[in-house]
Amino acid sequence: MAFKITEKVTWVGKIDWGLRKFHGNEYSAYKGSSYNSYLIRDEKTVLIDTVWLPFAKEFVDELKKEIDLKEIDYIIINHGEIDHSGALPELMRYIPDTPIYCTANAVKSIKGHYHQDWNFVTVKTGDVLDIGESKLTFIEARMLHWPDTMFTYMSGDNILFSNDGFGQHLAADPLYNDAVDQAELFYECMKYYANILTPFSNFVTKKIEEVLSFNLPLDMICPSHGVIWRKDPTQIVNKYMEWADGYQENQITIIYDTMWNGTRRMAEYIGEGIREADKDVTIKLFNAAETDKNNLLVEVFKSKAILVGSPTINKGITFSIMGILEMIRGLSFKNKKGAAFGTYGWSGESPKLIEEELSRAGFEIIIDPLKELWYPDEDALLRCKEFGRNFVEKIK
């Protein structure tokens, strides 16, 4: 159901309460999400973004109840990914000649997805679309998180339509930042940043600094997923600046997989050693095979250091540990330290392989890996404690 944000702007998107997986199966979305589309009525009428492809027909049918589609003068697509542009093929069946404003890179991605040559109007940073009392200013935001992304700023109402920036996967009603549980909201914001935007942190910082340099008044941030920031909208901007700056908390995370509980026992005793050496640090242990990978990456994002352990299997490491290490490498975390450990029966390659993967991911390796034969006995567990103590002392 559509609802008014301001006198000129109406939300016409879709709240997806049932969403649990996103980007295929790459992102967990246990709190649902929303696909935010916005209709601006001034002297000219503008539609900003659409919804995800599965809801395309529903979106167009609901939009018809809100406005005669032929009254839409312009369409703005801030980002060509299908969760934003997915209703374009259905919509353009009714208004095929309506201009679509987007970046040159977005033309490529939209054509790549839909293979249609619609009436594209390419824009770049600083270009302005005059729609009457208000003006829409376009700001390219390359790699936040695709090369085609841009923001659109609306004067008068002082709204930044930020697309994927400042969003989160959270279904809510009312869809406003001050109307939801704040702990839940900011966890989902951090999860979104950690899993999607971390590799582009340098771009985040530069883009925010560029937008701030324009000295534009800001009353509201309207992203494409999750809540609309109407109360103190700059709070999420400040969080992004903090998260983009090699973010870490006083936390050490131990990630492991285990076959016959030997590596689990190593992880627990390493944690005990860390606690003996540092009473203040937060320690968290996770079995990678049993933990949601995206939630686990949030913990890596928060940590100043991680330890990763696996038994050796077929001269390698377990599927879950290799998978999380690959995701860690792809996210290009900064300013983090690490070490490896594991059990083995006869060949014992896993700790060294983990260390190599952590190094490839940019982690500073601060202690040689630890491996123990079969199920650790009391002497081995004492070595694990000592390993934990040495690890945290080297961090200090």
C-beta separation of 132 from 74 below 8 A: no
Q: Which of 23, 58, 66, 181 is catalytic?
A: 23
Say whether 164 is catalytic. Answer: yes
Per-residue b or e along 121-135, where b marks 16 or more CB atoms closer than 10 Å to that residue's CB: eebebebebebeebe
Say whether 169 is catalytic. Answer: no
Q: What residue type is assigned to position 25 of the chain?
A: N
Q: Which of 27, 153, 225, 257 is catalytic?
A: 225
Cα angle vertex 14, ends 24, 29, to 5°?
Answer: 35
Residue with tokens 């998180």: 145
Say whether 23 is catalytic. Answer: yes
Cα angle vertex 327, ends 325, 331, to 5°?
Answer: 115
Q: How much is the pLDDT for 159?
A: 98
Q: Which of 192, 247, 256, 269 is catalytic?
A: 192
Q: Which of 49, 81, 278, 357 is catalytic?
A: 81
Helix H or strand E encompassing 344? strand 337-344
What pTM was computed for the model? 0.95
- CB neighbour class for 41 (10 Å; exposed up to 12, middle 13-18, buried from 19): middle
Provide the pairing of β-strand 120-122 with 100-102: parallel
pLDDT of the chain along its 396 residues, tens only? 899 999 999 999 999 999 999 999 999 999 999 999 999 999 999 999 999 999 999 999 999 999 999 999 999 999 999 999 999 999 999 999 999 999 999 999 999 999 999 999 999 999 999 999 999 999 999 888 889 999 999 999 999 999 999 999 999 999 999 999 999 999 999 999 999 999 999 999 998 998 888 888 999 999 999 999 999 999 999 999 999 999 999 999 999 999 999 999 999 999 999 999 999 999 999 999 999 999 999 999 999 999 999 999 999 999 999 999 999 999 999 999 999 999 999 999 999 999 999 999 999 999 999 999 999 999 999 999 999 999 999 998
Q: What residue type is assigned to position 380 of the chain?
A: A
Q: Which of 49, 164, 278, 357 is catalytic?
A: 164
Q: How much is the pLDDT for 295?
A: 98
Say whether 157 is catalytic. Answer: no
Say whether 247 is catalytic. Answer: no
Q: Which of 49, 83, 157, 188 is catalytic?
A: 83
Say whether 84 is catalytic. Answer: no
Q: What is the pLDDT of residues 284-337, one digit of tens each?
A: 999 999 999 999 999 999 999 999 999 999 999 999 999 999 999 999 999 999
CA–CA distance, 333 with 7 (Å, rounded to integer): 42
Q: What residue type is assigned to position 129 of the chain?
A: L
Residue with tokens 């824009």: 123
CA–CA distance, 131 with 8 (Å, rounded to integer): 11
Q: How much is the pLDDT for 215?
A: 87
Q: Which domains does the chain have, with CATH numbers?
A: 3-243 (3.60.15.10), 251-395 (3.40.50.360)
Say whether 145 is catalytic. Answer: yes
Q: Which of 27, 42, 74, 79 is catalytic?
A: 79
